[in-house]
Amino acid sequence: MTKVIGLTGGIGSGKTTIAHYFEELGVPVYIADDGAKRVMKSVSVIEKIKIEFGESIFEDNVLNRSKLAEIVFNDKERLAVLNSLVHPAVKEDFEIWRKQHENYEYVIYEAAILFESGRYKECDLVITVTAPEEVRIERVIKRDNTTKEQVLSRMKMQWNDEKRISMSNFVINNNNLKIARGEVVKILKILNIKQNQS
């Protein structure tokens, strides 16, 4: 059966870049955030979001994700409510995708809150991507055109690196992209050796 490798890291760690490295090397990748965007366009999830968060975050029946983010990233309880609506649908979406890739030895499941959501329990292995905090803040400010305060507020909602690392099988330091890519190659070699031994 196809093994699931969980890939996670804090905001701005560059885990999606690392996910793409795996993809380039032939490992299928499922990005949970993209899955969430897809399921949040489905009628059933939209209706549930409207009930919980009101019509004001919709424009012409289209969800305004930045308005929703403003609400949930400043309120742990509201974030938990949103996750309870979206995560089951993402899980379902992933299972459909996984079946389409069952001829592969490994697939990557990339998710920012792999540990926080409990999804790590469904992974055979977990890789955590790290980077220095200042580098992460700089990346997110540039990517999202946001402020340092907003980035720090989102960081507080996530586990810290120490906690993630303590529960991971592999760690990739993504401060230098060339070195990080080398780490991906190394991990795949180890996994292939394990696969050949089993």
CA distances from 8 to 46, 71, 93, 127 (A): 27, 24, 19, 6
Phi and psi (nearest 5°) for 64?
A: -90, 100
8 is in an annotated binding site: no
Closest CA to 35 of 120, 94, 99: 94
37 is in an annotated binding site: no
147 is in an annotated binding site: no
The residues with which 42 forms a beta bridge, in sequence order, are: none
16 is in an annotated binding site: yes
Alpha carbons 99 and 122: distance in angstroms, whole number: 15
15 is in an annotated binding site: yes
| Encoded amino acid at 76, one letter | K
26 is in an annotated binding site: no
Residues annotated in a binding site: 12-17
Annotated binding-site positions for ATP: 12-17
